[in-house]
Amino acid sequence: MQLDQLYQEIILDHYKHPHGRGLRDADDPGDQVAEAHHVNPTCGDEVTVRVATDGDVLHDISYDGMGCSISQASASVLHELLRGRGAGEAFQVHEAFVELMSGRGQVTPDEDVLGDGVAFAGVARYPARVKCALLPWMAFKDAAARAGVGVSPEVKA
């Protein structure tokens, strides 16, 4: 297996220079704010994702955590892709990312939808690492549901 397919420059860059890291309060006091803390019990990776939303737009997605390059870069990409998006649109991106990660490397990602998330296509070939990449996305889904947007708060990777 080619290591550089897994550790793409984009991923390493997000890992070394994370975007929007750190949990933040909502700028707008009227926003619903909720968070979810997810762990990967097999390796001890942890991430907390916090969503601030007025019910339509995800005004902020902030996060904190500790873990491997894949899980932390994934949180950074999540923040960048979904912050400021409408909830419906955000969940389409979410769905596309989950589909990519569940595809065992057989899914061709759409860069228009997934942006830097396409760099994770290689991760899907490493079953042991798929959970790392999905960790912040699953935490996001729970946090969003708790903030009143999304589908179900019970989604697990």
Partner 1 sequence: MTSIAIPPGMPQYDDVPRYDVARVRADFPILDREINGHPLVYLDSANTSHKPRQVLDVLGEHYALHNANVSRSVHTLGTEATEAYEGARAKVAAFISARSTDEVVFTKNSTEAINIVAYAFSNASLRPDGDPRFRLGPGDEVVISEMEHHSNIVPWQLLCERTGATLRWFPVTDQGRLDESGLEDLVTERTKIVSLVHMSNILGTVNATSRITARVREVGALLLLDCSQSVPHLPIDVVDLDADYIVFTGHKMCGPTGIGVLWGRGELLAAMPPVFGGGSMIETVTMARSTFAAPPARFEAGTPPIAEAVALGAAVDYLTGIGMRAIQWHEKELTAYALEALGSVRDLRIFGPTVPVGRGGTISFALGDVHPHDVGQVLDSLGVQVRVGHHCAKPVCSRFGVPAMTRASFYLYTTTEEIDALVAGLEQVRKVFD
Q: Applying CB under 8 A, which residues contact partner 1?
A: 1, 3, 6-7, 12, 42-46, 66-70, 72, 126, 129, 132
Q: How far is the CB of 112 from partner 1 (least distance, A)?
A: 29
Alpha carbons 89 and 115: distance in angstroms, whole number: 14
On whether the CB atoms of residues 100 and 119 are closer than 8 A, the answer is no
User: Which of 34, 101 has the CB closer to partner 1?
Assistant: 101
Q: Tell me the closest approach of the beta carbon of residue 102 to partner 1, in angstroms.
A: 19
Which lies closer to partner 1 via its Cβ, residue 5 or residue 32? 5
- Closest CB to partner 1 among 13 and 54? 13
Nearer to partner 1, 48 or 72 (CB): 72
Our CA dihedral for 126, 128, 130, 133, rounded to 10 degrees, sits at -110
Specify whether the backbone of 78 is left (phi greater than 0), alpha (psi in -120 to 50) or beta. alpha
Instruction: Provide the minimum distance between the beta carbon of 66 and partner 1 in the complex, in angstroms, as a whole number.
Output: 6
Question: Closest approach of Cβ 69 to partner 1, in Å?
Answer: 5
CB atoms within 10 A of CB 51: 33
Q: Are 137 and 47 in contact (CB under 8 A)?
A: no
